[in-house]
Amino acid sequence: MKIVVAVKQVPARDSQLRLAADGRWIDDSELSFEINEPDAYALEEALQLKEKKGGEVIVLCAGPARAATSIREALAKGADRAIHIEEDKLESVDTLGVARLLAKAIEAEKPDLVLTGLQSDDLGYGQTGVVLGELLGLPHATIVMQVELDEAEVRVKRELEGGWFQYVTMPLPAVLTIQSGINKLRYATLMGIKKAKSKPVQNLSIAQLGGLPVPVAERTRVYLPERSKQTELIPGEPREAAAKLVEKLRFEARVI
């Protein structure tokens, strides 16, 4: 069983974000970075499947040179090897372009299963895994909460709205986007950190994958949300005012 896990390096969740000078993205010059949390759950699921079924787990990451730290962390947790698509200009590439790069790297591996996180903590588009499945021509499922592997198929539990779930069976190979909380994340052990130093990392350039894809969507502006305060006095007797307040909270603010 060969499993490829696509991971992304994103700013740490406690980072203080500032806009870049051009207003198109954030200034990342002084930020610390980590593995995208939904991708960490995808990695954990892959490692647990490997422990049950055997095989190997391959980490695939597209990003600048600094992403090597997150790749080594994934290797320290138990992944067998990694592929790093190293490129500093991926901010200008849209979801489709990133998925095209990942798909070209995956095609050479011919995996049985491809896992991604549901979405990234920085952009939150939630599209890469689905687009990747389409580009690879593979069946895919999203918001996966449980994975059961057979020899030639996979059965997944998907989370729907309103507390409902859906069970889907698909042939292998397949692409799954994993929901956060599907399992408990493991920490890298000291032995795992030592072993990670000798595990192979294949570096792929954009030129090897056919060049930087031309984006079909462009991010032109990033800005902080505007804060505004508004006070409304509700006149009348206490009982009448309370009834009006409840009505506003229910139908306007939608908090009850």
pLDDT of residue 227: 76
Domains of the chain: 2-209 (3.40.50.620)
- What's the whole-model pTM score? 0.84
Residue type, 224: L
Q: Is the sign of the CA dihedral 61, 62, 64, 65 positive or negative?
A: positive
Q: Running along the chain, 256 residues long, what does each successive block of 10 average in pLDDT?
A: 96 87 84 94 97 95 94 97 92 90 95 95 91 96 94 93 92 96 94 95 93 86 80 88 90 82
The whole-number pLDDT of residue 91 equals 80
On whether the CB atoms of residues 122 and 11 are closer than 8 A, the answer is yes
- C-alpha span between 225 and 210 (Å, rounded): 38
Instruction: Report angle CA 228, 234, 238 to the nearest 5 degrees.
Output: 140
Residues whose CB falls within 8 Å of the CB of residue 179, separated by 6 or more in sequence, listed in order: 38, 41, 118, 143, 144, 145, 159
pLDDT of amino acid 31: 87
CB 169 within 8 A of CB 155: yes
SS3 content of the chain, % helix, strand, coil (to 5): 30, 25, 40
Q: Rg of the chain's alpha carbons, rounded to an integer?
A: 22
Helix residue ranges, H only, the chain: 37-53, 68-77, 95-107, 128-136, 190-196, 238-251
pLDDT for 214: 87
* 56 vs 44: CA distance, rounded Å: 13
pLDDT score of 111: 96
SS3 at position 45: helix
Q: What angle do CA 88, 89, 90 make, to 5 degrees?
A: 100
